[in-house]
Structure 1
């Protein structure tokens, strides 16, 4: 059911550890508008965006933009489900435009390179359609404005966008298989994790992520996809924010589902908010890393603000993250929610997903 009680809402869908976000807002033209971001794996399309898009169309609305942050399967996969959905006849009327970084190179991809192939499929579909589509997005792109909602691009840099494009032309790119359970840090204590040195993510595809600062009225949010924290720090610095002048936010979505390599101390010191969203489910790739959450608890708090961590999934793995640490929530004064409504103003709506549509 499409909400019509709040001028803006951010809906996070549980797609098994991927990103699937629906931003809904009442625009300056007094009409409702919808922006989708990513969508999770292809198999999750029927459990998340398929029903949503049909509801949007039934209400005589459209998806103004569908942002594909980067080509990893847990972000782009659901778009392929949309392209293959025969129940939506006129897709160009359903989605007005895509915001997506692609390459024009005509390349051949081995069968195992699913995420790149998905990117090619989307690129070719866009070329054959009549979308108002942006296909070259980086930090030099002007802010994207949609009827009162403003999206400032914080990542990727032009250099990292180019590197990601070059990956499309490599013949011998290996398939990502993710991390094994043995690589998880969930069984470690806070004492073991809190003083570990930070090492930034080096993955070039993650570095190509489209990350945005979303502004609408008094609402501000950081949606970071799988971006590198140093790029976000540089972009916030260019907007004149710093550790002594942190940007006030309604919420911040941790990058890369809460990976320890994507949330730095420096970045946390540049933001001021009580609300943090984590899209990892504690199972897929073992995200979120407990080390990242400990860093958040250590450096994310400002003054008397009580930190709230909002998980878009609800699993035993997430609920047991701090089980080994006695009286953890008392020591750090933080709260957690799992697929529930967050703050009282319902800024976050973590929606339950049905198995059948």
Structure 2
């Protein structure tokens, strides 16, 4: 099938991520990319519908093995629909991790047999382990610049995997302490001045910091896709690529990391990016983690290096009223009076 325009959807994936991109190569052949599958129920309620009329996925990317990214893919690969879809290539951050572990909040129990499932269902699919050392991957004019994970993070991931798995099991037995608090009283302008102080170090947040994050350059758009990556990792990589506050990375869209968590978006990272359209994938989060954080929105809107003469657009893949019912009025009329920006529900681009 021929194509001359890139289109993409940020699927309603509950509190997770699932992104379907339909683009084209130098020969105008359609090239379809599926990034993550959302939660387990995402397949039934949104992903299945999108894939019903697709016979070929050129590239499937599992950014990391959190359940809100891998759950829908497990359901896809155990469904009859998968028999009708050719998958050319699959990217993982660390395929062999999928063979290990038993049961956890981070769905390692589900992913334990996922690699074997893939090889059984799609034995001729090319499977690649992706890391930053691969730099650029060119698919006939569709260029992926890999920003994360680093080899150091992947090595640490493998070394601490069993310990992290035990911690995840213990958390399911303990009474959870809610992390849902959002600062509704303080203005976005004021919140934007708060220093970036993450709750965990990069190595203590290994499942997120090992996410595959990349710049996607198609023939007609440029997209920064951050999965659940850590800003320290992305910022360092962008610096190595030569981007600075005075010579920013220009992109058409940014998919904000980790559903708008303030632990995954820093002012210094945003200062390296020139973009007017940001996307947050969330339905409001879970009972324990309400997202997006107002601090993340504040950092995007009121970043010191942003050109405020140009209007900024913040998109949510769920209706704002759905998110508001779950986490409260996270954006006020007063917030919109400063910063030359608007927000709206939009998941088709």
With normalisation by structure 2, the TM-score equals: 0.86
> 1:276 is matched with which residue?
278
| CA distance in structure 2 between the partners assigned to 1:117 and 1:111 by the alignment | 4
Q: Deviations over 1:249-296 (max 9, x none)?
A: 101111111110111111111000110001122233211111111111
Deviates more, 1:187-196 or 1:210-219: 187-196
Say if 2:183 is the partner of 1:183. no
- The alpha carbon displacement at 1:101 in A equals 2.3
Say if 2:91 is the partner of 1:99. yes
| CA distance in structure 2 between the partners assigned to 1:247 and 1:149 by the alignment | 18
- SS of the residue aligned with 1:212? strand
Q: Is the 8 A contact 1:53 1:63 kept in 2?
A: no
- The alpha carbon displacement at 1:166 in A equals 3.1
> 2:42 is matched with which residue?
44
Instruction: State which of 8, 11, 14 in structure 1 corresponds to 2:12.
Output: 14
Deviates more, 1:108-117 or 1:305-314: 108-117
Residues 64/144 of structure 1: CA separation in 2 closer, same or farther (3 Å cut):
same
Say if 2:155 is the partner of 1:162. yes
> 1:23 is matched with which residue?
21
Say if 2:77 is the partner of 1:83. yes
Q: Is the 8 A contact 1:180 1:286 kept in 2?
A: no
Residues 168/162 of structure 1: CA separation in 2 closer, same or farther (3 Å cut):
same
> 2:142 is matched with which residue?
149
| CA distance in structure 1 between the partners assigned to 2:179 and 2:35 by the alignment | 31
Q: Is the 8 A contact 2:280 2:314 kept in 1?
A: yes
Count of aligned positions: 331
Q: Is the 8 A contact 1:167 1:173 kept in 2?
A: no
Q: Is the 8 A contact 1:63 1:95 kept in 2?
A: yes
| CA distance in structure 1 between the partners assigned to 2:230 and 2:17 by the alignment | 16
Instruction: State which of 148, 167, 173 in structure 2 corresponds to 1:173.
Output: 167
> 1:311 is matched with which residue?
316
| CA distance in structure 1 between the partners assigned to 2:316 and 2:130 by the alignment | 28
> 1:344 is matched with which residue?
none
With normalisation by structure 1, the TM-score equals: 0.84
Q: Deviations over 1:159-207 (max 9, x none)?
A: 1122223344346232466986663215332266333221235311000
Residues 317/37 of structure 1: CA separation in 2 closer, same or farther (3 Å cut):
same
Residues 20/107 of structure 1: CA separation in 2 closer, same or farther (3 Å cut):
closer
Unaligned residue ranges in structure 1 (runs of 5+): 342-347, 349-357
- 1:280-299 paired onto structure 2 within 5 Å: 280-284=282-286, 285-299=289-303
Q: Is the 8 A contact 2:3 2:23 kept in 1?
A: no
Say if 2:320 is the partner of 1:339. no
Q: Is the 8 A contact 2:251 2:273 kept in 1?
A: yes
| CA distance in structure 1 between the partners assigned to 2:140 and 2:31 by the alignment | 8
| CA distance in structure 1 between the partners assigned to 2:331 and 2:260 by the alignment | 15
| CA distance in structure 1 between the partners assigned to 2:69 and 2:216 by the alignment | 19
Deviates more, 1:251-260 or 1:25-34: 25-34
- SS of the residue aligned with 2:223? strand
| CA distance in structure 1 between the partners assigned to 2:93 and 2:179 by the alignment | 34
| CA distance in structure 1 between the partners assigned to 2:82 and 2:228 by the alignment | 30
Q: Deviations over 1:197-219 (max 9, x none)?
A: 21235311000000010001241
Q: Is the 8 A contact 1:274 1:301 kept in 2?
A: no
- SS of the residue aligned with 2:318? coil
Unaligned residue ranges in structure 2 (runs of 5+): none
